[in-house]
Amino acid sequence: MSPPSRRDALRLAGLAGVSALAGCRSVTPWSGPNEQPPRSVGTSWSPSAETWRFPHGDLRNTASSPHGVQTAPSVAWQDSFDGGRSTTPTGAIVAATPERVITARRFGSEVQLHAEDATDGTRRWSRWIVYPPDGRTPTFGGLVDGTVYVTDGGTDVVAVDASDGTVRWRRSLYDRVADSVPDKYLSVAGSPAEFAARALATPEIVYVQSSYGVHGIAPRDGTEQWRLYLGAHHDADALEEPRGLAVADRRIWAVYDGTVQSLFTIELSDGQPEIERVPSPLQSPSRPVVPGYRDAVFTHDIVWASKPQETLAVGTTDEGAEWEFPGHTGSGGVAYSSLATDGERVFVCVSHEQQDRLLVFALHASTGKLDWLFREPLADRDASPSDSGEFRLCRPAVTGDCLVVGYGTLPETAAGRGEIVAISRTDGRVCWRTSLRLAPCSVSMTSARLFVTGRQGGVVALTEESG
């Protein structure tokens, strides 16, 4: 009998580590103050395939679209970089449709939302959203029924009219629970800044993750419909570091970091929520990516690290960690990307200082087995992960038959430079590549355009059409 592989050993170690805590369902007794059980959880709704309604593609964070660009695209238009009120803004795509693209830039204690015409880049509106100076990074909960949902990184959820940038409502969930719940159950620090609300919107309910648990609020006015305290299913008194939600039909996933990293799954049984907790073997786990109905995959919520991680990605089911894919264990700086999936495979990008190249891993979602590996030398491209201040990987995205990946360097006072590469998602061959006059941050695909945002703000619209 041959000895077990390193991957098998990691999988067995992961299963052993979680066996004592995973697989144990509990039905919430709803004994917490002012709690009301939801009539349903999850949703059967999904956004139109013509659009990119969420920063990570959809409610399951798949970062995928059925539409794609088959040949090297040309630039339809580019929003010029403007450092504006800060030298360190952060750019991101909030949502995109064939008519409009909405992007965000973070400056100190404010976020600036922009809406631009998807055809020619004309600015339609701009809106500043203030958030607490000591709060966390604001997050974006999707564009649903004409409303963009934003959290301020602390306590508030903000609804913005996508047509003109008007703030429809702003609600603090912390105010609603602070009067009836001891501080220690709200956060380790017991402060509103640690509440760290994150939203994910649907037409029926806006799901919000916090250090308290999961809340359901009404899209029309932000009133809280129900809340679900998760601390009773945790080893510590209080939850820490909300990292992200995923939502599917009749099911919710919620990831937490902190003293004990955890992935919670929530569904209804006989009208009462069933909660299962799987401890995460990863430090700083990312938001869950859901390839199928009952499984989730996550990686590190890290963009660059001086100490490489031993595990690159983890696949879980209700029974616990099903597989762990090993990461690089050498020395030197490492850049990481988020995950994307086509339902069969999950994709993650890594760039090691020692190897000086971009690596793209395609893993089977159910087993973690390596399907293919793409290698891109960086030595002759004036880019290296050894520079933690400048080098970053772009969020990958599945677009049609391709996986779009990217990398770039970001000087302090310019938009930077970079490249995106389209790779066949079935075999890892290069379909096309194009250089950019910005450091790419994220990619979004609609039925009409491929949009790339820069880390310093700005957006490039790419199309197969000439001009």
Looking at residue 154, its pLDDT comes to 84
Q: What pTM was estimated for this model as a whole?
A: 0.90
Looking at residue 320, its pLDDT comes to 85
Q: Can you tell me which residue has the tokens 């040949």?
A: 71
Number of compact structural domains in the chain: 1
Looking at residue 15, its pLDDT comes to 37
CA distance 270 to 293: 20
Is residue 280 within 8 A of residue 265, CB to CB? The reply is: no
Looking at residue 81, its pLDDT comes to 54
Is residue 57 within 8 A of residue 404, CB to CB? The reply is: no
Tell me, what CATH number does 48's domain have? 2.130.10.10
3-state secondary structure the chain: CCCCCHHHHHHHHHHHHHCCCCCCCEECCCCCCCCCCCCCCECCCCCCCCCECECCECCCCCCEECCCCCCCCEEEEECCCCCCCCCCCEEEEEEECCCEEEEEEEECCEEEEEEEECCCCCEEEEEEEECCCCCCCCEEEEEECCEEEEECCCCEEEEEECCCCCEEEEEEHHHHHHCCCCHHHCCCCCCHHHHCCEEEECCCCEEEECCCEEEEECCCCCCEEEEEECHHHCCCCCCCCEEEEEEEECEEEEEECCCCCEEEEEEEECCEEEEEEEECCCCCECCCECCCCCCEEECECCCEECCCCCEEEEEEECCEEEEEEECCCCCCCEEECCCEECCCEEEEEEEECCCCEEEEEEEECCCCCEEEEEEEECHHHCCCCCCCCCEEECCCEEECCEEEEEEEECCCCCCCEEEEEEEECCCCCEEEEEEECCCEEEEEECCCCEEEEECCCCEEEEECCCC
In a domain, residue 70? The reply is yes
Note down pLDDT in tens along the chain; length 467 residues: 333 333 343 333 333 333 333 444 555 544 556 678 898 999 999 999 999 999 999 999 999 999 999 999 999 999 865 545 444 456 788 999 999 999 988 777 788 899 999 999 999 999 888 777 666 778 899 999 999 999 988 889 999 999 999 999 999 988 878 777 777 767 666 677 788 899 999 999 999 999 889 999 999 999 999 999 887 665 556 688 899 999 999 999 999 998 878 899 999 888 888 888 888 888 899 999 999 877 899 999 988 888 888 899 999 987 788 999 998 777 788 999 999 999 999 999 999 888 888 999 999 999 999 999 999 988 777 777 777 778 889 999 999 999 999 999 876 656 688 999 999 999 999 999 999 988 899 999 999 999 999 888 889 999 986 54
Looking at residue 385, its pLDDT comes to 76
In a domain, residue 244? The reply is yes
In a domain, residue 110? The reply is yes
If DSSP codes are grouped into helix, strand and coil, which group holds residue 239?
A: coil
In a domain, residue 18? The reply is yes
In a domain, residue 1? The reply is no
Looking at residue 75, its pLDDT comes to 94
In a domain, residue 159? The reply is yes
- Give which of 307, 257, 306, 303 is closest to 281, Cα–Cα: 257
The whole domain housing 307 covers 6-463
CA distance 419 to 423: 13
In a domain, residue 300? The reply is yes
